[in-house]
Amino acid sequence: MTILEEAEALADDIVADRRWLHEHPEIGFDLPQTTAYVADRLREIGLEPKEIVPGGLVATIGDPSSDRCFMLRADMDALPLREETNLPFASDNGFMHACGHDAHTAMLLGAARILKHREAELNGCVKLMFQPDEEGCAPDEICGNEAMINAGVLESPHVDAAAAIHLMPFDYRLGEVATRPGTGFSSIDDIDIVVHGKGGHGSRPNQLVDPFNIACHIFQGAQNLIARELDPNDQAVITFGAMNGGTAANVVPDDVRMLGTLRTVDEGTRAHLKERMAAMCEGIAEAFGGSVEVRFLRGVPSVHNDPELTRELIGYVEELIERPVTILDTPISGSDDMSVISQAVPTTYFVVGTGTEDEGVRYPVHNARVVFDESVFAQGAAMTATMALRWLAARADGKGEIDG
């Protein structure tokens, strides 16, 4: 039986795991039900999971004393979003798995079953990393990935390479596999701007320093930084999601607060835009008689797909699915704290499509109505297991082979 056939035989189990996780979403590091469920599933197949941070599990398959270890990662946390899918297993606690982490976890559980069944074939060790707090990382705080690194997830045994899969509806066709050697996902930093003006009666703007006016010019100026100061081939996005101030229609407030994000794919561009954004905000505020406080809150860097590892894993995946992997021209504009691992060890991150708009998919990730096609989960589990098995086999004496 090939790995893909094994995964398809496990499809009902993978879907059942995913549906339970979907119905019981938890956020951040506070994942007691999730970790208990996943740990129980791992113990059922003979593994010994350890919770090394709140909501973060690690288990190993194969020989932990080996000098070769490949790590597979799944994120487990949900979003603070009220679900509107009307699925029979929809959540009702105000949280939602709207980014596919329930499926990522279920697929890694499926891969764990395959790898345990083939443990005798492993030329080394496979480490399974189930992490918390990918979505909920608060600015200037440690995310789940970094917390697990600090707790030693990359050691005992030492991890030599790592991989992960992210399901993606709306943008990729059902079953399509995509990646990009080099920068794969954007970095992200939160922007927190407080504009200080001089409030007063709305009928006499001449007596005021209107903070909304300053904020609007800052908003426009940020877009001009992208359009006029970056190489057209560079990739960066500044987006504001909140502008708050005032309590009445006829009272201009003293202050306005703006919250946004900066996303880039190049660390030089990231540093340049932070510097220019701060200078621009100060200049605009001064020009209109106000002042401003600008803070960039630490986010995560861009995901780096190690070119050599990525090309190797692409070959294994293409043999498995018997069709080409899509090589993306540009990095994905979203961000992911898998980037922290990618800075420490060679890493590859794949996306797997769950259908496009032409295929009837109406909503993208992070939407309260997003639905993931469950028919692709077995493929994801097979890909996950294959990457680890083939990478380890390629490093055996005489280039070991595996069945399927």
Domains and CATH numbers, the chain: 3-184+302-393 (3.40.630.10), 188-300 (3.30.70.360)
pLDDT bracket for residue 299 (50, 70, 90) = confident
For tokens 């798995």, what's the residue? 97
The pLDDT tens digits for 183-204 are: 999 999 999 999 999 999 999 9
> Three-class SS of residue 54?
coil
Specify the pTM. Answer: 0.91
- Please write the tens of the pLDDT for every residue from 352-365: 999 999 999 999 99
CA dist 183 and 328 (Å) reads 10
Comparing 2-16, 28-42, 388-402, the range with the smallest average pLDDT is 388-402
The two tokens of residue 362 are 């109406």
**4-13, 103-112, 113-122, 391-400: lowest mean pLDDT where?**
391-400
pLDDT-based confidence at residue 402 (cuts at 50, 70, 90) = low
pLDDT tens readout for residues 90-141: 999 999 999 999 999 999 999 999 999 999 999 999 999 999 999 976 656 7
In sequence order, which residues have a C-beta less than 8 Å from that of residue 233 and are 6 or more positions away? none
- Strand 255-264 relative to strand 291-300, pairing: unpaired
pLDDT at 404: 63
User: How high is the pLDDT of residue 32?
Assistant: 99
309-348 per-residue burial string, b: 16 or more CB within 10 A, e: under 16: bbebbbebbeebbeeebbebeebbebbbbbbbbbeebbbb
Per residue, what are the HEC states of 256-277? EEEEEEEEECCHHHHHHHHHHH
Per-residue pLDDT at 400: 46
Phi-psi region of 363 (alpha: psi -120 to 50; beta: other; left: phi over 0): beta
pLDDT of residue 137: 63
- Write the single-letter amino acid at 44: E
